[in-house]
Structure 1
Amino acid sequence: MPTKNLPKLIIFTSLFTLISCGIYSFTGGDTGNAKTIQVDFFNNNADLVEPSLSQSFTLALQDFFITQTNLDLIKSNGDLQFEGEITRYTITPMTATADQTAAQNRLTLQVNVRFYNRTDEKKNFEKKFSHFYDYDANTILQGSSLDTAFEEIFERITQNIFNASVANW
């Protein structure tokens, strides 16, 4: 007799779990009533300019939200909107060798983000997000080594922007 009701119990439990998730995604994001997202181009206003940085960061932020939410990316009038600029792109020596040369460098990226939630304006903010990538001083940051650095930095910064905007952290 108990085995006969097991399928019904499993279906009920599954439906209850899905319904109770409501507007939350499995990634922890709460997009509320928002259906669309707009990510404007992030200009590079840093003193040191890397030519591909603005486009690469903007695309990384767009891709992160597209894969982590069910929002549709649009060019204007998004329910959720991100805009801002890259304010810092620096390379600094971190550790030295015995002969006083750099053994390790640090690439630091800082982004100023303005977030607008047209469905709940109390959630609007302007914040700075920053992360770094340490690498061997003998490495020249170009090509695949620069791509690796960007990938790590972008992953952390986009996750932090996601957490601040829709994960309510």
Structure 2
Amino acid sequence: MSVILSGCSVYSFTGTNIDPSVKTMSIATFQNNSSNGPSALSQQFTEDFKDYFQRNTPLKMQQRDGDLQIEGQIIAYDFAPAAIQREGNVDQAGVNRLTIQVRVKFINTKDDTQSFEQTFQSNGDFPASQSIVAINSDPSSIRRITTNIITDVFNKSVANW
């Protein structure tokens, strides 16, 4: 008994669903348009974005005009109390939350029905004793949050989840 599979897309073990005619990808630098955030946030986020897509797709990365194109900006970088606790007669933060929002425009030049523009958000909780200065100086703290955003964009753009 023979089984013939046909279709327009290819499924891989990384979960991608990329049309075989799609060969290249370009990711523009994500500008930090939030009023906060460390100075290296834009560069770190963009490089992590490129690395993630290179590791998880067979696409060749190019400077611009890829078959798939991603661009956007970091629109919010907010650090605020997430859980208030009472100590004596004083209310204070028990946990602080860092929330990052990124506006992403994805263009699929081979199939415009796959294109989208959407805001993605993720956050991370930190002990109240950890200041935003300490978090900003530790790229791994921020990377935990931005990796969630990158994964969400990946799933929406090339995994079609």
Question: Normalising by the residue count of structure 1, what TM-score does the alignment of the two structures yield?
Answer: 0.83
SS of residue in 1 equivalent to 2:11:
coil
Larger radius of gyration: 1
For the aligned residues, what is the CA RMSD? Answer: 2.3
Q: Does 1:118 align with 2:109?
A: yes
The aligned counterpart of 1:8 is none
In the TM superposition, residue 71 of structure 1 has moved relative to its aligned partner by: 0.6
More helix as a share of residues: 1
| Number of positions where the alignment pairs a residue of Structure 1 with one of Structure 2 | 154
Letter in 2 for 1:57: F
Give the Cα–Cα distance (whole angstroms) in 2 for the partners of residues 72 and 62 of structure 1: 11
Partner of 1:135: 126
CA distance in structure 2 between the partners assigned to 1:94 and 1:148 by the alignment: 21
Q: Which among 57, 66, 82 is matched to residue 70 of structure 2? A: 82
Match 2:10 to one of 19, 23, 35: 23
1:106 is matched with 97
Unaligned runs of 5+ in 1: 1-11
Q: Residues 37 and 136 of structure 2 are in contact (CA less than 8 Å); yes or no, is this contact kept in structure 1? A: no
The answer to whether residue 53 in structure 2 is matched with residue 65 in structure 1 is yes
Q: Is the partner of 1:101 in helix, strand or coil? A: strand
Q: For the residues of structure 2 that align with 1:79 and 1:47, how far apart are their CA atoms? A: 32
* Counterpart-to-counterpart distance in 2, 1:85 and 1:91: 18
Where structure 2 has 5 or more consecutive residues not aligned to the other structure, the ranges are: none
| AA of the residue aligned to 2:41 | L
For residues 112-134 of structure 1, give each alpha carbon's deviation from its aligned partner in whole angstroms, at most 9, with x where no partner exists.
00000011111111000000000
Which has the larger share of strand? Answer: 2
Counterpart for residue 7 of structure 1: none
TM-score, normalised to structure 2's length?
A: 0.87
The superposition leaves residues 43-102 of structure 1 with CA deviations (integer Å, 9 ceiling, x where unpaired) of: 001122321110111011111100010111100110100001000000010112322111
